[in-house]
């Protein structure tokens, strides 16, 4: 057969839960039924759908890996029992004994999997995808390229695959890849191009960071050119601890045309009708091609009956602030709901940070699950309490006031504290009270510190840093203001009440732990501070590079010292949703005990450039 064949392919952009094999399998059945109802012949689910992603050290448990294998075969049978055996389903899972055979020598530690070695990867765990059809596991693919940078530790957990399975479905040859395989030039897509295929499907678990959606389309277009075939890219959606996945699934033609694109931050079934010209592929090969072995399985030669293609949807891109807002809302909602938390509580001070957390919380959970507590001290201004009350009123959340001055006085009558120690005592009294309310009522305490404060250590340990989750931990202060203005504008355009008091946005930021205190008393402007943090923390630039970028030397020296000495605090901070190039936590790992300090470059007199 050399003429065109048709396929309706669905991308099931779903929100899974790590470790919930039964629940995730039920999710696959539910969305496969939706896809079948839409007339899909092939439905693609995200990376490691059955186990959730990332499963981290659960991968090293043989019991979990074997349960994943069982869940996969059970799922194939269940799909057939539900009348879905005729639909091809590609689903990600954790493979244990199956997959792509032994790993190449250059990608496995010297101790390998020899009997008796204390190798945590014994049993060859693989990040895998399988094609299910007719109640059977028809083909299995193990991810070839294992990312080991940023938030990824896949080289710690998995053995890379060496086989590229190609399945003929309704006369079309479909190749399987997984996520990082698309980021590597000359990888599995290049092998697929040399082997000759009609379609490449790629399950993904690609975490969100700002503007990452701008990278995906050009990336997939490059791989489609390399594969000489259309690519269907199905991405995970939802929050998992610090990570949030934005979906943004898409399909491109062999020539790079965007055929379909899903919206971000929501579960979605995206269908695309493909007309695959088999004449484009003059030769179809199998066996060893470069570093991989191509295997071919014929599932069905007969093409589907001709049908009228439907126009696919292409979601409009979100603006940067809306994209970030939706990421933060989804990350918070999934952390709370997936962990079974009934509600949240936090200190509502009247400042911009707590006002933003309040608005995020209500958007994520609904006002009835959100509790704000004002904790005024003797230094709190009247407008702060008024702004806190205004914020609560605008959002309709639960609100109470607990003055802390008598408790602070009791501490100070027992121990003599001054300066920063006395200021931080107030924050720690607040933290203690909020933790007490959390314990009493079952709320999860949210920390309201932003990235700028966390970076320079201006988030008090066991005080305002206390909490089980920090929604704006990766949001610089300048972005806090931008998000607040955007959220108010978003409400105003829809005729809704602006959720954030304008006074909280406009007033100079202050911790109000001393008379007349302002953040600008001890920090550079937040515009200067955030610019240095972005270059030093996110981009890992050293002193010389920072100065080359035009930062003030005195500001750089001061900020770098503050960032470096605060590492021990960050090790004890709550997780928070990652939105930046590099977030504190699993994304940025520096030793606490560390003598290295960036220093101003010295120029010797007469030295040659």
Q: How far apart are CA 450 and CA 431, in angstroms?
A: 16
Burial class (CB in 10 A: 0-12, 13-18, 19+), 398: middle
Specify whether the backbone of 112 is left (phi greater than 0), alpha (psi in -120 to 50) or beta: left
Considering the candidates 69, 163, 179, 242, report the single residue annotated as catalytic: 179
- Active site annotation includes 569: no
- Active site annotation includes 47: yes
User: Which structure tokens are listed for 135?
Assistant: 């109640």
Length of the chain: 609
B/e letters for 49-65, b = 16+ CB within 10 Å, e = fewer, are bbbbbbbeebbbeeebb
Q: How far apart are CA 315 and CA 333, in angstroms?
A: 23
- Active site annotation includes 271: no
The CB density around residue 557, as the number of other CB atoms within 10 Å, is 18
Read off the DSSP letter of residue 313. P
381 — pLDDT class (breaks 50, 70, 90): low
Residues of the chain with pLDDT > 90, as a percent, come to 73
368 — pLDDT class (breaks 50, 70, 90): very high
Placement of tokens 């069982």 in the chain: 70
Write down the H helix ranges in 151-196.
154-157, 188-195
pLDDT tens string 393-404: 999 999 999 998
Mean pLDDT in residue range 3-27: 96
The CB density around residue 572, as the number of other CB atoms within 10 Å, is 10
pLDDT tens string 408-459: 889 888 888 888 888 888 889 999 999 999 999 999 999 999 999 999 998 8
* Residue 70 pLDDT exceeds 60: yes
pLDDT tens string 140-186: 999 998 988 888 888 888 899 999 999 999 999 999 999 999 999 99
Average pLDDT over the chain reads 89
pLDDT tens string 299-341: 999 999 999 999 999 999 999 999 999 999 999 999 999 999 9
Q: How far apart are CA 12 and CA 303, in angstroms?
A: 23
Determine the 3-state secondary structure of 462 from DSSP.
Answer: coil
* Residue 105 pLDDT exceeds 70: no
Considering the candidates 143, 473, 477, 569, report the single residue annotated as catalytic: 143
- 144 to 45, 147, 176: CA distances (angstroms): 18, 10, 11
Whether residue 67 contacts residue 303, with contact meaning beta carbons closer than 8 Å, is answered with no
The CB density around residue 293, as the number of other CB atoms within 10 Å, is 17
* Residue 122 pLDDT exceeds 80: no
- Share of the chain residues as helix, strand and coil, in percent rounded to the nearest 5: 40, 20, 45
Placement of tokens 């008091």 in the chain: 501
């Amino acid at each position: 057969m050399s003429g065109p064949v048709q396929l309706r392919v669905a991308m099931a952009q779903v929100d899974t839960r790590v470790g919930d094999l039964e629940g995730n399998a039920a999710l696959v059945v539910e969305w496969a039924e939706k896809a079948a109802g839409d007339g899909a012949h092939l439905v693609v689910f995200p990376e490691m759908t059955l186990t959730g992603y990332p499963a981290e050290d659960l991968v090293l448990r043989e019991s979990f890996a074997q349960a994943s294998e069982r869940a996969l075969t059970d799922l194939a049978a269940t799909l057939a029992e539900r009348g879905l055996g005729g639909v091809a389903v590609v689903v990600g899972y954790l493979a244990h004994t199956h997959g792509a055979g032994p790993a190449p020598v250059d990608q496995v530690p010297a101790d390998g999997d020899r009997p008796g070695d204390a190798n945590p990867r014994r049993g060859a765990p693989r990040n895998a995808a399988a094609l299910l059809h007719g109640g059977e596991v028809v083909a299995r693919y193990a991810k070839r390229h294992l990312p080991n940078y940023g938030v990824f530790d896949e080289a710690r957990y998995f053995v890379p695959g060496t086989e590229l399975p190609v399945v003929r479905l309704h006369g079309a040859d479909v190749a399987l890849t997984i996520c990082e395989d698309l980021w590597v030039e000359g990888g599995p897509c290049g092998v697929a191009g040399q082997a000759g295929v009609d379609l490449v499907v790629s399950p993904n678990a690609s975490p969100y960071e700002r503007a990452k959606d701008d990278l995906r389309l050009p990336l997939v277009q490059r791989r489609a050119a390399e594969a000489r075939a259309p690519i269907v890219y199905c991405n995970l959606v939802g929050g998992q601890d610090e990570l949030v996945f934005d979906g943004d699934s898409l399909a491109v033609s062999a020539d790079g045309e965007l055929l379909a694109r899903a919206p971000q931050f929501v579960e979605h079934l995206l269908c695309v009708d493909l007309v695959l010209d088999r004449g484009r592929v003059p030769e179809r090969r199998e066996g060893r091609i470069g570093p991989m072995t191509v295997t071919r399985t014929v599932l069905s030669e007969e093409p589907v009956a001709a049908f009228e293609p439907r126009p696919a949807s292409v979601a409009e891109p979100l603006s940067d602030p809306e994209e970030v807002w939706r990421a933060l809302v989804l990350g918070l909602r999934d952390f709370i709901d997936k962990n079974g938390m009934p509600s949240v509580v936090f200190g509502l001070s009247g400042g911009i940070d707590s006002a933003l957390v309040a608005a995020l919380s209500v958007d994520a959970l609904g006002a009835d699950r959100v509790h704000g507590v004002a904790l005024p001290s003797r230094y709190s201004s009247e407008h702060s309490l008024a702004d806190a009350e205004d914020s609560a009123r605008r959002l309709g959340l639960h609100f109470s006031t607990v003055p802390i001055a008598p408790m602070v006085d009791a501490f100070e009558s027992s121990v003599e504290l001054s300066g920063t120690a006395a200021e931080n005592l107030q924050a720690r009294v607040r933290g203690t009270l909020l933790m007490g309310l959390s314990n009493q009522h079952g709320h999860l305490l949210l920390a309201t510190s932003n990235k700028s404060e966390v970076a320079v250590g201006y988030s008090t340990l066991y005080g305002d840093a206390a909490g089980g989750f920090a929604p704006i931990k990766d949001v610089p202060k300048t972005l806090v203001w931008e998000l607040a203005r955007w959220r108010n504008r978003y409400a105003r355009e829809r005729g809704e009440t602006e959720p954030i008091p304008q006074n909280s946005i406009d007033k100079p930021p202050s911790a109000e732990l001393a008379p007349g205190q302002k953040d600008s008393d001890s920090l550079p402007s937040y515009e200067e501070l955030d610019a240095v943090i972005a270059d030093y923390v996110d981009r890992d630039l050293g002193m010389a590079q920072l100065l080359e970028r035009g930062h003030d030397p005195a500001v750089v020296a001061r900020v770098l010292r503050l960032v470096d000495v605060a590492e021990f605090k960050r090790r004890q901070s709550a997780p928070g949703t990652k939105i930046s190039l590099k977030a504190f936590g699993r994304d940025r790992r520096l030793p606490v005990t560390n003598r290295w300090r960036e220093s101003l470059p010295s120029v010797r007199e007469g030295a040659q450039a």
